[in-house]
Structure 1
Amino acid sequence: MPDDPARAFMPYPAVPVPNAPEGPLAGLTLGVKDLFDIAGYPTSAGSPTMLAMSGIKTRTAPTVQRLLDAGARFVGKTITDELAFSLNGRNAHFGTPLNGGAPERIPGGSSSGSASAVSNGLCDVALGTDTGGSVRGPASHCGLFGIRPTHGRISLEGAHDLSPSLDTCGFFTRDAVTFRRVAEVLMDEDAAALPQTPRLLLAADGFGLLDGEVVEALDEAVHQVEAVLGTGDAVEAAGDFEALYWAFRYVQGREAWEVDGAMIERHRPPLGPGVAERFAFAREIDDAQVENARAVRAAYRERLRGLLRGDAVLVLPTMPDVAPRLDEPEAALDRYRNAALNLLCLSGLSGFPQISMPLARRLGAPLGLSLIGPPGSDLSLVRLAERIAAGA
């Protein structure tokens, strides 16, 4: 980018990245989270230490290459939260990208730069990753469409891991039509397609976590979904939010330490606020906690599979509220992150696809509403989101 008013991109020297002159994404511009390797560029993973160790990559990650081969034009690598271990979007080393939907509020992380670039109109589509909500959260905060696909549906080869059994590759767009075009490039047709009009389930316990004013702000968005699918049936989607929250944190923490712990212990990088505390927590997780967490995850996956039964979608809030303000202290941001994980861990633990749609606003800021579908129903879910956005 010759100019980056949103501070969304890493300030790397420009290197040409060839793309196909024609294809289904011709005319679209592409930003890529700086976890993905691109030939001619380093990969920082949001960390100065990792940037120093990176060297210039000689191979482009296959998912990025797939978008280039479809005609998308690369415009830059976007800032990510440090080692992708945050939901705030405030990188202590590289800064905070501007939220194009609410400039006085955080963009959300760790795909903060990608969400910022798209919401500020600096590119049409941007790749992110979602482990604990790092596409869904920024999508809600910045007023974008964002997807966490079925775990493993889109390749993460050539990208830096955080927690491999939870990591997914997602993306952002401003509109539902572009969202569907990108999804059709990155994913083959569903092996487990939803019916044209799936059953609609409302996560009563998820909405029950919200303040009344937030529920009220989402009411119209829920009615917009029901106008397409019919009145939804209320269900208890989680069963035990606290058990799921801790299961997620223990699995994520153990795997994050397995990925980055050796580097942290060897180089002692100056980790930013929040990130340092999460890695300290991760270091102390014991085997019994992990074993129990994996059992909870397996049981929850079967619970959600039973609710959806291959022909239903679950509607739930993406996040507990609009994005916190930029001047919120770190302790308040950590409380918000923990509240958000209660909602975000449902898709994360199950591995099922979730889409956040920019259907609501509160306090002048965007607020997302989500759909979760059965595993492998990603394209059906994307096309359903397009119908909902169009009111058809």
Structure 2
Amino acid sequence: MTQNAKLADLSAAGVSVWLDDLSRDMIDSGALRREIDEHSVVGVTTNPAIFQAAIAKSSMYDDQIAALAAQGADVDATLTAITTDDVRSACDVLAAVAVDSDGVDGRVSIEVDPRLAHDTDATVAQAIELSKIVDRSNVLIKIPATKAGLPAITRVLAEGISVNVTLIFSVERYREVMEAFLNGLDAALENGHDVADIVSVASFFVSRVDTEIDKRLDQIGTPEALALRGKAGLANARLAYAAYTEVFDLGVRFPDLKAHGARPQRALWASTGVKNPEYPDTLYVSELVAPDTVNTMPGKTMLAFADHGWVNTESIVGRDEESRGVFDALSRVGIDLGDVFALLETEGVTKFVDAWDELLTATAAQLTSAKA
């Protein structure tokens, strides 16, 4: 198969292309394999909303749900079985990518139950359980970057489990995530784990930042405010990458861990689908190009980039001062950035809980029907 030239160029610029989607249809039909062969896909991310959409739209899960119903499985056990089976199968499809990249890529993410986002102990317990059930070295366990999630990240990494930290909206929280990561690697070493086998990414959300801040700028309505629309998300991500280089390229803690084979926790650009039709539909891909990063894209965004995306290799590096200027300007026109980021985290958890609750309700109905 021939790789799409635009996505191949993105990969050559140091951006790992991950698909933000998964379903049993995609795995069984060979569509995921084709994404690898034709669109430079080297990883997959999932979340409760993705599973909710996949299971609701397909009849491919009906037989498994019926079999689980016959065994007396409850709804939580049923969803665990369904989702971990899909992730395990996707891990197998990406196994060769994991080997070829020395484990850096070829990763498939599965998220802990979003209802546990504010419960550290329960998050740790389920993260360990999910890792054991999937039983693949290229799985990533997703843990939200809530206050309760931060110590959970450290404790799960300390068990030698690779982690995808999700729902990061602010650079301040991102710094706390990197600290939790370093603490986790220190603990993993103390526990006798080979830190070279531990891989982690930090999922920094982009488009949702613009959506919320643009709404507030529209409400302010001054020319100065309106001129800042569509600038916050990219500025925020650029400052996050500057923090990444500060910690992993210039920091004092990481070199000791690197000497033991540790890898940096790569920045992953999430929420890269453009919500505002006035903006280019590949904005959060083309303008977030930097070495050692990941961009996880919904299928629609990936196809758009394959068709007409561009690779701007000057989109991040060296633009720290410009990005801080955007934040200063936002503050001057009356945007409370702290309030924005707190709201986005709360909404992010709520959206995933709502999607999971919908999935629980639908699956419970199918179990009841199967038992009848």
Aligning the two structures, in what range does the TM-score lie when normalised by the shorter sequence? under 0.3
TM-score, normalised with respect to structure 2: 0.27
| Structure with the larger helix share | 2
Q: Pick the structure with greater CA Rg.
A: 2
TM, length-normalised to structure 1: 0.26
Higher relative contact order (CA 8 A, sep 6+): 2
